[in-house]
Amino acid sequence: MRIAVLGTGSVGRAIAGRTAELGHQVTIGTRDVAAVRAGEQTAWLEQHPEVGLATLPEAADAAELVVNATNGSGSLPALTAAGAPNLAGKVLLDIANPLDFTAGFPPTLSVLNTDSLAERIQREFPQTRVVKSLNTLTAELMVDPRQLAEGEHSVFVSGNDAEAKRIVTRLLISFGHTDVIDLGDLSTARGTEMLLPLWLRLYGRLDSAIFNIKIVR
Amino acid sequence: MRIAVLGTGSVGRAIAGRTAELGHQVTIGTRDVAAVRAGEQTAWLEQHPEVGLATLPEAADAAELVVNATNGSGSLPALTAAGAPNLAGKVLLDIANPLDFTAGFPPTLSVLNTDSLAERIQREFPQTRVVKSLNTLTAELMVDPRQLAEGEHSVFVSGNDAEAKRIVTRLLISFGHTDVIDLGDLSTARGTEMLLPLWLRLYGRLDSAIFNIKIVR
In this complex, which of A148, A197, A215 lies closest to B194 when CB atoms are compared?
A197
- Per-residue pLDDT band for A195 (boundaries 50, 70, 90) equals very high
Q: Tell me whether residues B216 and A190 touch, CB distance under 8 A.
A: no
- Per-residue pLDDT band for B182 (boundaries 50, 70, 90) equals very high
- Residue B215 lies inside a defined structural domain of this protein: no
- Residue A202 lies inside a defined structural domain of this protein: yes
Query: What was the ipTM of the complex prediction?
Result: 0.96
- Residue A217 lies inside a defined structural domain of this protein: no
For residues B216 and B202, give the distance between their C-alpha atoms in angstroms, rounded to a whole number. 18
pLDDT of residue A67: 98
- Residue B217 lies inside a defined structural domain of this protein: no
pTM above 0.80, yes or no: yes
**Do residues A193 and A109 lie in contact, with contact meaning Cβ atoms separated by under 8 Å?**
yes
Q: Mention every residue, 6+ apart, whose C-beta is less than 8 A from residue A119.
A: A186, A187, A189, A190
Give the model confidence (pLDDT) of B94-121 as tens digits: 999 999 999 998 999 999 999 999 999 9
pLDDT of residue B176: 98
B105 in contact with A, Cβ within 8 Å: no
Q: What mean pLDDT, rounded, does chain A reach?
A: 97
- Per-residue pLDDT band for B6 (boundaries 50, 70, 90) equals very high
B200 in contact with A, Cβ within 8 Å: yes
Give the model confidence (pLDDT) of B33-57 as tens digits: 999 999 988 999 999 999 999 999 9
Amino acid at A67: V
Q: What mean pLDDT, rounded, does chain B reach?
A: 97
Phi and psi (nearest 5°) for B49? Answer: -65, -20
Give the model confidence (pLDDT) of A139-172 as tens digits: 999 999 999 999 999 999 999 999 999 999 999 9
Peptide bond into B197 cis (omega under 30): no
- Residue B21 lies inside a defined structural domain of this protein: yes
**Which residues of chain B are within 8 Å of residue A198 when distances are taken between CB atoms?**
156, 183, 191-192, 194-195
- Residue A213 lies inside a defined structural domain of this protein: no
**Do residues B66 and B90 lie in contact, with contact meaning Cβ atoms separated by under 8 Å?**
yes
Task: List C-alpha distances in Å: B135 to A8, B21, B117, B157, B193.
Answer: 38, 21, 11, 10, 7
In this complex, which of A113, A192, A210 lies closest to B108 when CB atoms are compared?
A113
- Per-residue pLDDT band for B87 (boundaries 50, 70, 90) equals very high
CA dihedral A100, A101, A107, A109 (to 10 degrees): 0
Q: Which residues of A145-156 are buried (b: 16+ CB within 10 A; e: fewer)?
A: beebeebebbbb
pLDDT of residue B191: 98
- Residue B137 lies inside a defined structural domain of this protein: yes
Starting at the earlier edge strand, list the strands of the sheet with A52-55.
A52-55, A25-30, A2-6, A65-68, A91-94, A129-133, A154-159, A179-184
| B152 CA: distance to closest CA in chain A (Å) | 8
CATH of the domain at A46: 3.40.50.720
Domain that holds residue A84: 2-206
Q: At CA A39, angle to CA A38 and CA A44, rounded to 5? A: 95
pLDDT of residue A33: 95
- Per-residue pLDDT band for A75 (boundaries 50, 70, 90) equals very high
- Per-residue pLDDT band for B180 (boundaries 50, 70, 90) equals very high
**Which residues of chain B are within 8 Å of residue A191 when distances are taken between CB atoms?**
197-202
For residues B57 and B73, give the distance between their C-alpha atoms in angstroms, rounded to a whole number. 19
Read off the pLDDT of each residue in A51-57 and give the average, rounded to a whole number.
Answer: 98
- Residue B81 lies inside a defined structural domain of this protein: yes
Domain count, chain A: 1
Q: Tell me whether residues A113 and B109 touch, CB distance under 8 A.
A: yes
- Per-residue pLDDT band for A202 (boundaries 50, 70, 90) equals very high
B109 in contact with A, Cβ within 8 Å: yes
